[in-house]
Structure 1
């Protein structure tokens, strides 16, 4: 009985608080003022379907102004905060933030222009084909609140009976006639002003592709005639306006193409260019179709020959216009790209194309310093020095060179932990074309690139071992469009040479095959390919991202050397056994945007690496890892898995990354904006890694039919500080399912105890990172 009283009390308290919020919203109104609660639209017509009524009503509601105060479950919390906050004396401080940033000014009945909304309803209905629409309105008020009821009598909707494109003997009319088969105006479809506008833009786009540079959609008129047909039919007549400017009807072609690759905005004075605009007097550096005005010869003319789609005599078209601009930008060497067309012969209908290009700083030097900590009680720092040259051989080649040094030292915890030191350098040359014995033609707006990289890293784990790692690659990157990108490395080489392996490390790794493989010589080479598709740049409620990667190591060499056939001895190159495996990884992401401030992000990762031929195991550097700030965040970086292997069995003080050959991972994150740069998130992660083959030193690590019972689950909350130039992310997570616990006892809900400091220390994981996890 006592519990019932408590329940009733909670309900009564909740109801009382809600009532207080509601009454507070009207208590601050002056005499004669009424809070506007919104509009209701009734459509009186029995001849149109329910779907048509629903569609029409939604369109009308979206156009009515003003919108009432936002509400949640019948309450208006923003209005409540506006009312209770005092009027601030300055445009800053807590009161100002609460009243004008969190709060929302009341929308009053006096703010509503009912006659204006009535006109909107009638005009919108007629624009959608409901001619002779008539609307009335009525106001209903109660307790200082008012709503407006609009009644619409739209009549029957007019349908298109015929579509005619007026014909004459002019050139532009003949081109318009060639575009009629793709018209948006269809017989039997409703009259719709938005479709008419789209039709005008379609014709304009088509003419722009046929040389009519100065044409404009407003030059087209679409007449609607309701007198030629009965039964609510309308005939559409598409024609050119009588007052269309003569310049809009002329079809232009390219005369000369002139490039100023070292243009500066300071060259414009009083709206005029100080650079010469008469190409006949200019020195020509390219072939006969292109003039490159570059007295200092900073750029090789051939880069413009590849980037410019217009040649002398070409008919102007918008596609090549935009492709050229995009390719010039994607070269990465120009900060601003400006384009001008100047009529050279009005009788021949030709113009010259000018490209005014402002270079970026060709060289830059950047020094980066950062600090970090990891899950093994290490803290460290890294220093990077990066030099970039964006025009290395005067052909827009980008050359990047970097040197770095890093160290991690023990700051507490096990006494046996050892310090780590890394140093290395990397160079990359990116050439803005495909360097190959075959010809590669691309009509993409993005310049394809040939990338060549070389790198070296020295890593020393004190009192354990030293690793010398050499890397190199040669390959191509090209984009079909803004959504699709290909990255093919013809050859991707990694050579790892261990040195100074101490007796201590040999002792602790004696019974651990995985640790022994870390200090084995490794030679990995072969092609890799990745394909990326994304439409996340689009302003749509639902967007996706996908990246698939294929890594093939030693496949052709294994065939040539006979390593594919089972042998007692590994095949070697220069005394080093080469790795042979196939690896594939898929990363799929789905984003749903509820509104401007809230969204849902999800991700699924599935990958497998299979050793064969010359290899029994996947090289450590090419395996999968789980846990950490961008993975299953309730587990520290690279500590999760493989399988149900229990990392607590590792001797205290010896920390080594856990890796696997198979990876499955699922992530979901609800994101919301609180205030300007402050965002919050609630997330859940699940996943693990497994081995393909048995590892006696890590029982439970092999992938089996019991893999679902070995999935780890974690959840948490996070803050994101979005400072535009970077996003600082703090995620606090805890494990909900631990795969190395006893079977049947892996869910941890019954073990959660926030009041226990030991539990918090062992289970609450704080991840600090830059950027979103996915």
Structure 2
């Protein structure tokens, strides 16, 4: 059987580049160990596999299909049904014949045998790859040896002297094109003194094609670019470590012409077509012109001024491929059109550009029901959502949406472990504008960046056995998307009014007790007014599509709460006149940075690292932030060995109640890190993946001025000389069922180091009762939707 493949002697080309050229892969091992579970599953299932049976079944299905098809020649509709039915059956049977039964295909992997002819071909591939990367004098040999009934292959590689580019010259007869190419020469993929790479020549063709097409040359093709390489140059006598070549890049106009033709945009038309399969005669057409662009609307009317801000193709400008595609993208992002097509007609003067779109339905109603599983109690709770959307409500591409949500959850009481019902109802309305609502024409200058302004109002009501609480919210948020990977949000107005209408006496006593212990959960249940200005920047290059790729994620959030209260003293009085007296006001500054790095490891595995940190600082009369603005550690997206929001702060012991696991542990400073290895197990209607992780982190409270003066710090206070011993450590494993559009996650966390006791606790875990919560250390089960990070 085929064993491992190794490469020796290569100094510049990485092993991973060679591995990608070798199509034959040995049977997969588990976690890099000499264990082959997939092969074992395949061999175990093959014992009961009968290929002769599937041969007979395939022949029988084929004959049966032929008989039924002959009998239905006069009934095409029924014939089509039979064709679909038997096509599925025959394809399924043929697959079982060639690939084995379901267990062999889903959970197993067929044995991979050594092929001497394939090894010889692989050596030729490696020689070609080295030659294409500048090693013209390379040598590749291979040796084999046997260990544990597997043949290991070693490729012995001699790269020898690399070839470098000495001079790169462009030969362009068209002076305008020559000037354009030379102005962007610093972006060329062909650099003097760089090693020769065949791929760089094709990349240069693509770069020049894009450059010219973005500067008016609509008909330019990369086939007009040719290369002449002079490899007869000898290396200097003082340096024989490399060879040298000169490269001549030639751009020749087609059909013997002396120059390339630059196309200006002569006219632009945007047309909204009638709904699918509807004749134009049934609808009234409305034609208007705005800033030299012709707009034609059928049945529905849209604001030409707003559409104009999305049209980057303009009459009088030179044609640009980038503007053409970005215009289509911006129009599609408005959520007004089912699809947007574009095209060009060439004329003697230039290009006639047209965009055609079919609108989406003006009214849309969506409803969904589901079941939540609360991680602490693992008890199901049904919920329902109803959403109603009106598109283009004011004919300016605005979307108005109303969302209703109701749900029932099983929750644990604060002072006992019994389950109770909790009802939650909410209504949220939002009006989305496809522009930044600023005064003047400034708001129309961001059409290339998918600008949006969202104005929202919302109301939420929660009824639990311990309390009943309502909250009202008003917000205005600006959004920009400078690229497909970058998002910017700025909310200049975010107002929340929180009101608790009922507190159970026993629960109120519990809040008083917690406040005496330092947990200010009590503040969350006082009538409060929370206002803030917040900014969020997100850059995400990870799409979670296809095989693992090198990617990163960065989220930076800044927030200032209650700033205007200090600047405008009369504002507080005005708010109390509107919402009543006895309101609690907050002033605080908050920041949070979340960075993640995704690195591929092998064919279907990746290593993910994450650092999440932040802090909130309170000032003013209240001296505490709103409870919702605190940081928490523990749970399925944090340190998974601890229950959600129950880790810390610092080395503080758990809150002592009859059910202490229900008491949250807020902090003003967060430090958190995660390292996770993700691999693939099997495919069963979706990918079943596994993960092994290591989590670290905690939250702390910020020391008060009094603590700093007296030197008497609380166990949860952050101190530079103590925080290293207060970092909690947890490890564990997980399973993820990835259906592309939905990921169900099961993670099991185990404590390694407990900051409360400041000692390692792994030896306190028992495999006999791994989920027994009465043990000092147990497997903490986390159920989640989506990846943790």
TM range (shorter): 0.7 to 0.9
Aligned with residue 430 of structure 2, among 428, 431, 452? 428
**Alpha-carbon distance, 1:673 to partner:** 0.8
Equivalent residue for 1:258?
269
Matched, 1:751 2:764: yes
Of 19, 42, 55, the match for 2:13: 55
**Residue number in structure 1 paired with 2:697:** 687
Pairs within 5 Å for 1:299-338 = 299-338=302-341
Equivalents in 2 of 1:149, 1:607: separation in Å?
A: 50
Question: What's the counterpart of residue 98 of structure 1?
Answer: 104
Residue 653 of structure 1, CA deviation? 8.8
Residues 684 and 389 of structure 1: is their aligned pair in 2 closer, same or farther, counting only changes over 3 Å?
Answer: farther
Alpha-carbon distance, 1:690 to partner: 3.0
Corresponding residue of 1:526:
532
Superimposed CA distance per residue, residues 403-443 of structure 1 (whole angstroms, 9 cap, x where no aligned partner): 22233346899377764332221111121100012614656
Query: Residue 145 and residue 390 in structure 1: after superposition, are their counterparts in 2 closer, same or farther (change >3 A)?
Result: same
Partner of 1:547: 555
Deviation at 1:228, TM superposition (A): 7.5
**Unpaired segments of 5 or more residues in structure 2?**
55-94, 237-242, 708-712
Unaligned runs of 5+ in 1: 1-24, 26-34, 43-49, 268-273, 277-281, 565-569
CA distance change for structure 1 residues 137 and 487 in 2, over 3 Å: closer, same or farther? closer
Question: Which residue of the partner structure matches residue 764 of structure 1?
Answer: 779
Counterpart in 1 of 2:467? 465
Q: Secondary structure at the match of 1:294?
A: strand
Over residues 730-760 of structure 1, what are the superposed CA-to-partner deviations in whole Å (9 max), with x where a residue is unaligned? 11223333444xx45x432232123248845
Q: 1:320 to 1:375 in 2, by over 3 A?
A: same
Q: 1:485 aligns with which of 484, 487, 501?
A: 487
Structure 1's 536 and 683: CA in aligned 2 closer, same or farther, altered over 3 A?
Answer: same
Q: How far apart are the structure 2 equivalents of 1:56 and 1:411? A: 56
For residue 352 of structure 2, what is the aligned residue in structure 1?
Answer: 352
Q: For residue 621 of structure 2, what is the aligned residue in structure 1? A: 614
Counterpart Cα distance in 2 of 1:140 and 1:652: 64
Check the 8 A contact 1:626/1:639 in 2, yes or no.
yes
Classify the secondary structure of the residue corresponding to 1:325: helix
1:13 aligns to what? none
Q: CA deviation at 1:385?
A: 1.7
Give the stretch that moved more between structures: 91-100 or 520-529. 91-100
Distance of aligned partners of 1:766 and 1:266 in 2 relative to their CA distance in 1, 3 Å threshold = same
- The offset of 1:95, in angstroms, is 4.8
Distance change >3 Å, CA 136–CA 503, structure 1 → 2:
closer
**Partners of 1:531 and 1:549 within 8 A in 2:** yes
523-532 vs 357-366, which moves further: 357-366
Matched, 1:235 2:246: yes
**Which one is further off, 725-734 or 364-373?**
364-373
Return the match for 2:458 from 450, 455, 458.
455
Note if contact 1:444-1:480 (Cα within 8 Å) is conserved in structure 2.
no
1:736 matched to 2:747: no
Deviations 1:232-283 (A, max 9, x none): 653322223475586993211112212223366769xxxxxx989xxxxx95
The structural deviation recorded for 1:372 is 2.8
- Aligned residue runs from structure 1 range 94-173, under 5 A: 95=101, 97-98=103-104, 102-109=108-115, 111-112=117-118, 114=120, 120=125, 123-124=128-129, 126-129=131-134, 133=137, 157-168=162-173, 172-173=177-178
For 1:417 and 1:79, locate their aligned partners in 2 and report how far apart those are by CA, in whole Å: 46
Separation in structure 2 between the aligned mates of residue 390 and residue 719 of structure 1, nearest angstrom: 41
Q: Distance in 1 between matches of 2:257 and 2:199?
A: 28
More displaced 10-residue stretch of structure 1: 710-719 or 95-104: 95-104
How many angstroms does 1:113 deviate by? 8.3
* Distance (whole Å) between structure 2 residues aligned to residue 152 and residue 647 of structure 1: 61
Tell me: CA distance 1:225–1:373, structure 2 relative to 1, closer, same or farther (3 Å). Answer: closer
Maintained 8 Å contact 2:130/2:138: no
Q: Secondary structure at the match of 1:367?
A: strand
Output aligned runs, 1:608-687, within 5 Å.
Answer: 608-647=615-654, 649-652=656-659, 655-676=662-683, 677-687=687-697
1:279 maps to: none
Are the counterparts in 2 of residues 414 and 652 from structure 1 also a CA contact under 8 Å? Answer: yes
CA separation of 1:653 and 1:246: change in aligned 2, threshold 3 A:
same
SS at match of 1:480: strand
1:311 deviation in Å? Answer: 1.2
Closer, same or farther in 2 for the Cα pair 1:111/1:707, shift >3 Å? same
CA shift, 1:722, in A, is 0.9
- Contact in 2 for aligned 1:137/1:148 (Cα 8 Å): no
Contact 2:123–2:142 (8 Å) recurs in 1:
no
Are the aligned partners of 1:40 and 1:147 in contact in 2 as well (CA < 8 Å)? no
Shift of 1:307: 0.7
CA–CA distance in structure 2, aligned partners of residues 502 and 77 of structure 1: 56
**Mean Cα displacement is larger for which, 402-411 or 324-333?**
402-411
Q: Is the 8 A contact 1:495 1:524 kept in 2?
A: yes
Distance, in Å, in 2 between the alignment partners of 1:502 and 1:134 is 82
2:74 aligned residue: none
Q: Could you give the per-residue CA deviations for residues 467-502 of structure 1, whole angstroms, max 9, x where no partner exists?
A: 221111112111222333221110111111222344
Residue equivalent to 1:7: none
- Spell out, residue by residue over 1:15-62, the C-alpha distance to the aligned partner (whole angstroms, 9 max, x if none): xxxxxxxxxx4xxxxxxxxx79869788xxxxxxx74xx439986775
Q: Structure 2 matches for 1:570-585, cutoff 5 A?
A: 574-575=580-581, 576-585=583-592
What is the alpha-carbon distance in structure 1 between the residues aligned to residue 524 and residue 35 of structure 2? 62
Alignment partners' CA distance in 1, 2:424 and 2:646 = 21
> Secondary structure of 1:196's partner?
helix
Q: Which residue of 2 aligns with 1:200?
A: 205
What TM-score, normalized to structure 2? Answer: 0.78
Secondary structure in 2 matching 1:500: strand
Paired residue secondary structure (1:733): strand
**Structure 1 CA distance, aligned partners of 2:432 and 2:543?**
25
Distance 1:516 1:188 in 2: 69
Normalising by the residue count of structure 1, what TM-score does the alignment of the two structures yield? 0.79
* Matched-pair contact (CA < 8 Å) for 1:425–1:455: yes
Q: Distance in 2 between matches of 1:70 and 1:655?
A: 44
2:67 alignment counterpart: none
Aligned-residue RMSD, C-alpha: 4.2
Moved more, 428-437 or 166-175: 166-175
Cα distance in 1 between the residues matched to 2:179 and 2:220: 15
Cα 1:148–1:664 change in 2 (3 A) is: closer
C-alpha distance in structure 2 between counterparts of 1:632 and 1:130, whole Å: 49
- Partners of 2:360 and 2:611 lie apart in 1 by 39
Q: Secondary structure at 1:102's aligned position in 2? A: coil
- Equivalent pairs, count: 707
Aligned-residue offset at 1:364? 2.9
For each residue in 1:629-677, what CA deviation from the matched residue of structure 2 results, as whole angstroms up to 9, or x when unmatched? 2222222223333334444512459955432322222222221110121
Aligned partners of 2:159 and 2:260: how far apart in 1?
40
Q: What is the CA deviation profile of residues 536-589 of structure 1, one whole-angstrom value per residue up to 9, with x for unaligned ones?
A: 24988542212121221112312433999xxxxx99985223211111222222
Residue aligning to 2:61: none
Alpha-carbon distance in structure 2 between the residues aligned to 1:580 and 1:153? 67
Mark the CA change 1:334 to 1:137 in structure 2 (over 3 Å): closer, same or farther.
same
SS at match of 1:320: helix
- In structure 2, what is the Cα distance between the partners aligned to 1:728 and 1:603? 20
